[in-house]
Amino acid sequence: MLKIIKRVFKKDQLILLGTGLAASVLMVVLFAVRPTFLTFLDYKLYDQFLRQYHDANATDVPVVIDLDEKSLKELGQWPWPRYRVAMLLKFLQAYGASAVATDIIFAEPDRTSPDVLRQQLKKEMKVDIKIEGLPPALADNDLLLAQNLKTGPFVLGFDFRTGEIPKEDGSPYGSTDCFIRPITVSVLTTSPDAPSPHDMLFKATDAVCPLPVLATAVKRTGFITIAPDMDSVYRRVPLLFSWNGKFYPSLALAALMQATGLKSPVIKMGPGGVESFRIGNVVIPVDGRGRMLINYRGPMKTFRYISASDVLNRKLKPGELMGKICFIGASASGLKDIRATPLDPGYPGVEAHCTIIDNILSKEFLNTPNWAKELELFTLLAVGFITTLLLVWTRAAWLILPLLGLGWGMWYGSVKLFTVQHYYISPLYAYINLALTFTLLTVIKFWREEHAKKFIHGAFAHYLAPSVISQIMDNPDALSLEGQEKDITIHFSDIRSFTSLSEKLSPTQVTNLLHDYLTPMTRTITEHQGTLDKFIGDAVMAFWNAPLDVEHHQAKALDAALAELSKLDELNEIFIGKYGFTIAIGIGLHSGPVRVGNMGSADLFDYTLIGDNVNLASRLEGLTKYYGQKLVVSQTIADACEGEYRFRILDRVRVKGKVEPVTIYTAYTLDQAAARETELRRYDIAHALYLEQRFGQAKNVFEELRGLNVEPLLYDLYIERCDQLIASPPGEGWDGVFTHKTK
């Protein structure tokens, strides 16, 4: 290896190469260590992304009921008597709010209750007063508030403590009779090595809770606890806490569950910790400790604020808060809970709850996926390698545009991932490696004279014509047998039971039959811009999008397949008279990346495809027999041709030799589908019932379809499966995937 390197690179080039590799190694070390100053810089880069590219189109469901200056001026200083809080809650309920959550902890008894005032006067002033004419229900404001809490969609906030620091008097935070409501969480593990969620979620050591009389009256409670990153900016929020072996939701999550009636969220655990969190049909991306990255929509007052005094003075229109989720919080000076966010250094904490609700309802999450670190590391190394090679082999005058293009490409890719997929993939370390490598190698090249060598021209100048050499120099990959990776649509077709059919014919007749069949089939393929790869006995392998690019190649391949089936109907009219029988074929179509090019030895090669997607296309062709179909296509074909054809889902399967399941379909032209629309709609209903594990109902519909005698094999297959699954129910973890053991 060393001899090869010395043969390819000159001494001065080896120095540059070694320096560039050393710079990349240094950056890999920094990437692994994550020093504080670089982590801080990465936070600021993320904040810049969010400021520049955030989506300000927030939902209108979350609303802040604001304890503002106006409310305090009209109704008096905070804390208000609890009867007024009770009135505020009931008015919000009357205005149609589906949930009302308090970003306030009612941890102390109300000191303005008549009974409390009378006791205080007696104790402190030695005056025993009597209050006459006051209904007993109004004597204790806390009891009054508790009675109201029982009758509405209310959620009380509380605060978790995660440390062991006692109060000044030495006692722990919270109270021994703390009452808060846990929730039931389903845990799904993807690996036997997955830890318990209680080991990964944030653990509370204590809690500051509402008064027991209030907490026991309310249906739900939620924590308001949130911790900033090391730069004191709030970017993430835990959705669940673990305390005493139970799960407790955040205030936003509890309010959402109260408003929607959703229960039993699902937490997905993998070897690295929490992988995702699902509530209803919404999958929330979280980090390993169950924290959600908050997709802030804007600065303060991005969401609607309604003054609490306007609610109490009944200035809102009837039903104005219908279906809204209200959070009671404060913006008045001295009361408001200020948090620094990437978009606003003075962001009210109550509005963070609104943002979490908005993110879940809109399903617009920001996410740093599990594979982000691997991609960032790969980009770091690729940038270092490319920059090094450019500086080693390229003239200085030609460096600016490629390096600018490389830097722009990284930014563009990160922006696209952020704006389209909502993934944050940090380009920070790649940019640092680009700058470091460029600086070091430029300094070295400044002190050394660069001698450009034309390796290919020197090797072939005495053997090839100058024009050929120029072509090789412009495109040296043309000499490679390895080909290129490209997105290709692969087609396999095969005659059903051809061996038994050929036994009825002489060898000459078999040859003539294949000629009569293969000629129009291959012509149909080439007319639709396909490339014929090879004949495998009576089977045909073809592909689209190589060697020339074919626009919308999936649709061209599907057009060809349907045209082949139509052509076969014409051929069978000839075959029945010529050979005494008709033939049936099965076609499998799949699209995906493969390697295409000249494959073989240096002396003999063929232009063909290799790759796992080729094998999958072949397996799909084999499945046509099992499902009684003429055509089976993959999910990639269905996605690419959506709207142009009518697709009918056949199954979700794991084919032989594959680990990952695939969804398979058959396809019809829109005219074909229109003629069978009633049948296809009934089938869709039956298949949906099957996936929902309502096997008895699904079987009834499949039996109804079986009576049509159109596709008996497919319907018999599902009727048999339903019988088996009714006899032996699969359980909650069933994903509907059927594993095929044969080709």
Span of 67-76, 88-97, 117-126, 182-191 with lowest mean pLDDT: 117-126
Q: Tell me: pLDDT of 471 over 70.
A: no
Question: Which amino acid belongs to residue 139?
Answer: A
Q: Tell me: pLDDT of 335 over 60.
A: yes
The whole-number average pLDDT for the span 394-406 is 76
pLDDT at 604: 63
* CA dihedral sign, ordered 503, 504, 505, 511: negative
Q: Where are the domains of the chain?
A: 17-54+369-456, 62-182+201-261+295-362, 483-667, 676-743
pLDDT at 366: 92
Mean pLDDT, the chain, whole residue set: 85
DSSP codes of every residue in 642-662: BTTBEEEEEEEEE-TT-SS-E
pLDDT at 456: 41
How does pLDDT run across 624-679, given as a tens digit for each residue? 999 999 999 999 999 999 999 999 999 999 887 777 899 999 999 999 999 999 99
Structural contact between residues 629 and 667, judged by C-beta atoms closer than 8 angstroms: no
Q: Which of 156, 247, 237, 161 is nearest to 197 (CA)?
A: 247
Taking the C-alpha atoms of residue 666 and residue 713, their distance in angstroms, rounded to an integer, is 14
Which residues share a beta bridge with 499? none
The whole-number average pLDDT for the span 383-410 is 81
Confidence of residue 451 (pLDDT cuts 50, 70, 90): very low
The whole-number average pLDDT for the span 379-387 is 89
Question: Which amino acid belongs to residue 63?
Answer: V
Structural contact between residues 699 and 685, judged by C-beta atoms closer than 8 angstroms: no
How does pLDDT run across 492-504, given as a tens digit for each residue? 999 988 888 888 8
Confidence of residue 337 (pLDDT cuts 50, 70, 90): confident
Q: Tell me: pLDDT of 453 over 90.
A: no
Confidence of residue 336 (pLDDT cuts 50, 70, 90): confident
Percent of the chain at pLDDT exceeding 70 = 86
Q: CA angle at residue 282 from 281 to 287, to 5 degrees?
A: 140
Strands 325-330 and 484-495: unpaired
Taking the C-alpha atoms of residue 174 and residue 142, their distance in angstroms, rounded to an integer, is 19
Beta strands (DSSP E) in 107-234 are 154-161, 186-189, 202-203, 206-208, 220-223
Q: Tell me: pLDDT of 99 over 60.
A: yes
Confidence of residue 248 (pLDDT cuts 50, 70, 90): very high
Q: Tell me: pLDDT of 736 over 90.
A: no
Structural contact between residues 430 and 380, judged by C-beta atoms closer than 8 angstroms: yes
pLDDT at 397: 58
Domain 483-667, CATH homologous superfamily name and number: Nucleotide cyclase, GGDEF domain (3.30.70.1230)
Q: Which of 9, 41, 7 is nearest to 452 (CA)?
A: 9
- Phi, psi (degrees; rounded to nearest 5) at 75: -120, 0
SS3 195: coil
Q: Tell me: pLDDT of 477 over 70.
A: no
pLDDT at 463: 29
Please report, for residues 330, 628, 630, 651, 684, the alpha-carbon distance to residue 654 in angstroms, rounded to integers and kept in the order given: 55, 18, 20, 10, 21
E strand or H helix at 64: strand 62-67
Structural contact between residues 247 and 200, judged by C-beta atoms closer than 8 angstroms: no
Taking the C-alpha atoms of residue 297 and residue 255, their distance in angstroms, rounded to an integer, is 20
What's the whole-model pTM score?
Answer: 0.56
E strand or H helix at 689: helix 677-691
299: left (phi over 0), alpha (psi -120 to 50) or beta: beta
Confidence of residue 138 (pLDDT cuts 50, 70, 90): low
Confidence of residue 22 (pLDDT cuts 50, 70, 90): confident
